[in-house]
């Protein structure tokens, strides 16, 4: 190999694993590898950086290239939603690379949601709605500008998320136990799955044992499928919140885009939405009713592909880079 920049690397890192792809400047993937987690908010910057660099080295070794041939690296990481955290992680990886004697020409840390947006629509205009434990919507207009709504965290936001649905379920069960609320199947399911039936058990689980509130959400979906009124009302309210989150991003895109008669694509991402279930159907129905200019579609590619595309774009924008034509298929 001659050492001239010829490749890019994209990484998609979460709390359990990280995926890496090595691609040439035309977008053809030539190597792929998986490694340990890289959510630095959970495992720390040092371990996260080590796992990322291990994957970069693995990809390079598999095709016989060296670090100097990597034009750009983009890592989309869980926990990297804020600029200050992106900077901290970038500095951590660069320091770890220096200690290894690795040369990284260009490194960019982004959020996992950002690379998911690029992957879902292969860089084109559109929206992604993420609803798992938390919730957020990202959009990209025809000029490439990014907008967002939601993502404020569980204390003041995350409307329509698993956390919010789980919290409302626990409130409904508490009301039922007190005798101030209606009966709901969720109470029996909560007892069956978590062994939580009495007031003192629920309080201890939530406030002392750190019950994962979001893990209660699947019970609500199950109860709603069984025609439980309380469960369906919880999901109806949550679906309205997600619909409004999408609406906010939709109008930001419309303001920044060229006039077009085509519908704006929307892709669902996250455990609550990316499978066919009672909740995803409610959200789809509301969006189709309130936002007819939006078309709900399937994601085109996995998030790691979004990181690759962003790395190619960075390479293209750098003076002197040759043959950088992003083939986004």
Give the ranges where the chain is alpha helix by DSSP (H).
40-43, 45-63, 83-100, 112-121, 162-178, 185-194, 199-207, 217-225, 229-256, 278-290, 303-317
**How many domains does the chain divide into?**
3
Q: Do 58 and 196 reside in the same domain of the chain? A: no
Q: Do 142 and 83 reside in the same domain of the chain? A: no
CA distance 295 to 298: 10
pLDDT of 68 reads 82
What CATH number corresponds to the domain at position 58? Answer: 3.30.420.40
Q: Within a domain: residue 326? A: no
Which one, of 172, 198, 194, 195, lies nearest residue 185 by Cα?
Answer: 172
Instruction: Report whether 29 contacts 23 (CB < 8 A).
Output: yes
Q: Do 152 and 261 reside in the same domain of the chain? A: yes
Quote the pTM value: 0.81
pLDDT of 319 reads 63
Q: Do 135 and 261 reside in the same domain of the chain? A: yes
For 138, the domain range is: 124-156+236-297
pLDDT of 189 reads 96
pLDDT of 325 reads 42
Q: Do 277 and 138 reside in the same domain of the chain? A: yes
Last residue of a domain, one of 197, 227, 257: 227
Beta 135-140 vs 126-131: how paired, if at all?
A: antiparallel
pLDDT of 153 reads 79
pLDDT of 81 reads 84
* Chain segment 77-130, per-residue pLDDT in tens: 988 888 999 999 999 999 999 999 988 999 999 998 899 999 999 988 999 999
pLDDT of 321 reads 52
Q: Do 114 and 246 reside in the same domain of the chain? A: no
CA distance 198 to 195: 9
pLDDT of 328 reads 42
Q: Which residues of the chain have pLDDT under 50?
A: 1-2, 323-329
pLDDT of 74 reads 96
Q: Do 31 and 59 reside in the same domain of the chain? A: yes
Q: Within a domain: residue 328? A: no
């Amino acid at each position: 190999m001659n050492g001239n920049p010829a490749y890019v690397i994209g990484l998609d890192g979460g709390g359990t694993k990280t995926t890496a792809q090595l691609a040439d400047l035309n977008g053809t993937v030539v190597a792929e590898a998986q490694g340990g987690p890289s959510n630095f908010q959970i495992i720390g910057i040092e371990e996260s950086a080590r796992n990322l660099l291990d994957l970069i080295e693995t990809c390079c070794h598999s095709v016989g290239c060296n670090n100097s041939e990597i034009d750009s690296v983009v890592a989309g990481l869980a926990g990297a939603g804020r600029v200050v955290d992106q900077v901290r992680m970038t500095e951590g990886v660069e320091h770890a690379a220096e200690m290894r004697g690795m040369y990284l020409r260009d490194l960019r840390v982004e959020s996992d949601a950002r690379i998911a947006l690029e992957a879902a629509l292969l860089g084109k205009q559109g929206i992604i709605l993420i609803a798992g434990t938390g919730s957020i919507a990202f959009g990209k207009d025809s000029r490439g500008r990014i907008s967002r709504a939601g993502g404020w965290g569980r204390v003041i936001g995350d409307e329509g998320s698993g956390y919010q649905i789980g919290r409302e379920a626990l409130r409904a069960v508490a009301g039922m136990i007190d005798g101030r609320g209606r009966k709901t199947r969720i109470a029996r399911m909560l007892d069956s799955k978590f062994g939580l039936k009495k007031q003192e058990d629920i309080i201890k689980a939530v406030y002392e044992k750190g019950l994962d509130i979001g893990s209660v959400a699947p019970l609500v979906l199950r109860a709603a499928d069984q025609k439980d009124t309380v469960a369906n009302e919880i999901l109806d309210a949550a679906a309205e919140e997600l619909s409004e989150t999408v609406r906010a991003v939709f109008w930001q895109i419309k303001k920044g885009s060229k006039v077009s008669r085509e519908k704006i694509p929307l892709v669902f991402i996250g455990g609550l939405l990316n499978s066919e279930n009672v909740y995803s159907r409610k959200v789809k129905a509301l969006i189709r009713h309130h936002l007819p200019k939006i078309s709900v579609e399937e994601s085109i590619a996995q998030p790691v592909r979004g990181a690759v595309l962003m790395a190619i774009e960075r390479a293209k924008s750098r003076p002197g880079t040759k043959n950088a034509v992003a083939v986004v298929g």
